[in-house]
Structure 1
Amino acid sequence: MKKIIKHIYNQKGIKILLLFIFVNINYTCVEPFEGSVDSFEDVLVVNAIVTNYVKRQEVNLSRSYRFEEDEPPIETDALVSISTNNGNQYAFEEIEPGVYKSIDSFGAELGTEYTLNIETSDGHMYSSKPMQLPVASTNMDDISVERVFNNEGEEGIAINVDSFDANGTSKYYRHDYVETFKIIAPLWSPYDAVFVIEGINQYEIPVILREQEERVCYGTNKSSSISVLSTQGLVEDRLEDYNVRFINRDDYVLTYRYSILVRQYVLAPETFSYYDTLKGLIQSSTTLFSEDQPGFLAGNVFSLTDEEENVAGYFEVSAIDEQRLFFNWEDYFPGEELPPHIIPCSFFKPSSSGSFGERDLVNIIRQGTMRFYDFNTNPQPGEGEYIMVLPECGDCTTLGSNNVPDFWIE
């Protein structure tokens, strides 16, 4: 009977439902899924990438988790390093639970083999197949923005990439992105109602000036799908108007100012094969329990402690280039109605009457389930003295950070 593993790949922003995973060096080994979901195997999940950029490289470690669970357990207190065939050793430190960064900055170099080494806190040891940089570097010629209709007839914004390798040596590409967008709370008030005390016959919820910025924030999303393609067999090693992101015009991320960081990776053939197969597994996940459902995908990390132990994930060594752009809604939709907010926004006037512990207005403010908007100067029967709104409408920190990103340009 097959065991089932569920895991979300957080490092690259890719949400992945993985089936039973068997790790060996055959990168595209896939078997049909058989059996029922009534057993579980706890395995290490590795997410690691080294690029040619000189920086603190990153490795993410977690564990598989059950279907009924929401978050993966984090693998903490591991010893992580990367070794090379020319004798270099790069030690990593855990900067936050499950996230390990190299102590020293370095970048992958052409002709050097890199091997990931892991020892978990329980003494289990793991290693990867030696991986090499496929090309010395990659360059995106341009990223562009275009107002378009997609194949489904939806109007929106297309983010496209142009790239050309005159040497014809890149061939295998992957793209991802991180988007950042300004959020302005549509029903924000400079005032806030705070709970102080409630008694049998009285309560105290004064209105004060807000203590932090909650009107303008910045939201961030990572790409949630795998975007890979190959120019193998084409006349030129060229990408022209290759779409890496389509944003429907009704998406609230476009409402004010928008920025996107697009990253292009050139992959080794076996790395491309891994991602391409993984993409197929994700696309077929709507029929997870069908008889023809693919089963497990092999990675390139294995256990040194127990050759029968399964390990999920992949250690990637790739060339990378990245570019960022900014634009405003008015740049492409001048004078047109803004996209709707992420949720509909309405006013609420919860009652302040009732006995101790049952006053709706007091409980809402104490529990933080709504935000103050204004005074209800003419309360009707059953209404309280304050007008309240949902947090997403009156407090932008529920949707993003009130800290301006270092890279942000108005």
Structure 2
Amino acid sequence: MKKLSIKLYIVFYCTMIGLATGCITPYEPDVEWINDLLVVEGTIIAPYGTTIHINRTNEGSSSFYDPSLTGKKAIVTLISDKGTTIATAKNTTGGTYTLTDSISFKPGEKYAIHFLLDGKEYQSDFVEPQITPEIDEVNFQYKEQEEVNIRVSTHNDAPNGSPYYRWTYKEDWEIRSEYFASYVWDGEIVERISHDSPKNTFYCWKNNSSINFLLGKTEQMKINKIKDHTLINIPRYDDRLSYLYSVLVRQYSLDKEAFEYFRNLQKNIDEAGGLFAPQPTEIKGNITCLTNPKETVIGYINASTETTYRLFFNAYKLAGMGDVYNCKETESVLLKDIGNAYGKGLAILDLIDDRGGEPIYKCINRRCVDCLSRGGTKDKPDFWPNDHK
């Protein structure tokens, strides 16, 4: 085993619990690289949402995971400890396998993921599914001139309800430019637009998904209740506080073994900077190669139902918190010089004069009129509550 510096990609499988997008955070430590380890992650969710990820480490790859594995399709099935094959997962993209059939947990049954890959047989431990209580509330706490905290509350009155919780989230927010640009330049021509035009750059949307293992427990408490547990901190001047913000929180109950596994993963990441620090075998999880039990496999499969809660709030009403930049200085620019103005980071705000000669435009810092320059897109979420375009 040789020591080398390599860019690791710590992949937190947001998609494994039903989110649409995986989350990748780059990190460049010096590590003891263990090549060719199989990495398997996923949550068995009823009735829908089960996604299993299967990949392999490869020091020769520029990525944390081996791209050559994507061409080797695994046969992935959900099985019960009663000897029943419940469903077969479909390969969606790369090393991702999704159960599209509706499944239900039966009392007294335990479940596992079984798969065949490269002529070898693998299986997770049989786990008892945890029934997740409803989320009581997701709210926000506004600390003026400081931050906004997104918080979750829940409780479990079931006699044997698990005291261990995990959350993930998907954020969507609408950003709004400081001014509406009556004209846009597409690199060739200047066009006049209205607020109803899909070409306007006044409104845009952005999104983000959780990357940390967000965990909570009530193990030492008299009642199984979590109140106002902070999931997200949004600092002052963050563009999430530009106009309208929404977050969808997903909640899962865990057994103690799953909770400890995820907590150890997060501890490794926080303290040592990587999934495999200090020793990957310490976090290997509950996956076994049945063909060769001595093979080290990293990962964990747990089973749970899922509950969700969506929060909306008008971020523009939180005084002094939104993104701030200079929108006072303007510059007069002839039509022939518009390309140069855009190259300097400006954009058209309005027309000054087009009488009897070449048009003159008022230009301003592009961030003031072009939400695309702030990383936004025109991909408005289907569930968005207003009719902005």
The TM-score with structure 2 as length reference comes to 0.75
1:76–1:97 contact (8 Å) kept in structure 2 = yes
Mapped pair 1:174 → 2:170: no
Q: CA deviation at 1:385?
A: 9.0
Q: Which amino acid aligns with 1:324?
A: R
1:56–1:106 contact (8 Å) kept in structure 2 = no
| Counterpart in the other structure of 1:117 | 114
SS at match of 2:161: coil
Q: 1:294 to 1:360 in 2, by over 3 A?
A: farther
Mapped pair 1:329 → 2:305: no
| Counterpart in the other structure of 2:370 | 394
Q: CA deviation at 1:186?
A: 4.3
1:349–1:376 contact (8 Å) kept in structure 2 = no
Number of equivalent positions: 359
Q: CA deviation at 1:271?
A: 0.2
Mapped pair 1:49 → 2:43: yes
Distance 1:19 1:377 in 2: 51
Mapped pair 1:193 → 2:185: yes
| Counterpart in the other structure of 1:202 | none
Q: 1:213 to 1:108 in 2, by over 3 A?
A: farther
Q: Which has the higher strand share?
A: 2
Mapped pair 1:161 → 2:164: no
2:204–2:380 contact (8 Å) kept in structure 1 = yes
Distance 1:230 1:19 in 2: 32
Pick the aligned partner of 1:278 from 244, 265, 270: 265
Q: 1:262 to 1:385 in 2, by over 3 A?
A: closer
SS at match of 2:379: coil
Q: Which amino acid aligns with 1:117?
A: H
User: Deviation string for 1:118-164 (max 9, x for gaps)?
Assistant: 334x4444221112213x33122222222237xxxx72222222222
User: Deviation string for 1:275-333 (max 9, x for gaps)?
Assistant: 111121111025999xxx632221222334444433322212123221111110245x2
| Counterpart in the other structure of 1:146 | 141
Distance 2:70 2:341 in 1: 39
Distance 1:96 1:370 in 2: 38
Q: 1:376 to 1:256 in 2, by over 3 A?
A: closer
Q: Structure 1 vs Structure 2: percent identity of aligned residues?
A: 23
Greater mean alpha carbon deviation, residues 58-67 or residues 108-117: 58-67
SS at match of 1:9: strand
Pick the aligned partner of 1:315 from 301, 305, 325: 301
Distance 1:377 1:70 in 2: 51
| Counterpart in the other structure of 1:253 | 240
The TM-score with structure 1 as length reference comes to 0.72
SS at match of 1:276: helix
Mapped pair 1:11 → 2:13: yes
Q: 1:67 to 1:226 in 2, by over 3 A?
A: farther
Distance 1:127 1:242 in 2: 35
Distance 1:144 1:386 in 2: 42
Higher-RCO chain (CA-CA 8 Å, sequence separation at least 6): 1
Q: CA deviation at 1:206?
A: 2.9
Where structure 2 has 5 or more consecutive residues not aligned to the other structure, the ranges are: 15-21, 354-359
Pick the aligned partner of 2:279 from 290, 295, 311: 295
Q: CA deviation at 1:396?
A: 2.5
Q: CA deviation at 1:112?
A: 2.0
User: Deviation string for 1:150-186 (max 9, x for gaps)?
Assistant: xxxx722222222222225221111221111102244
1:188–1:395 contact (8 Å) kept in structure 2 = no
| Counterpart in the other structure of 2:18 | none
1:194–1:207 contact (8 Å) kept in structure 2 = yes
Distance 1:375 1:180 in 2: 30
SS at match of 1:283: helix
Give the aligned CA root-mean-square deviation in angstroms: 4.1
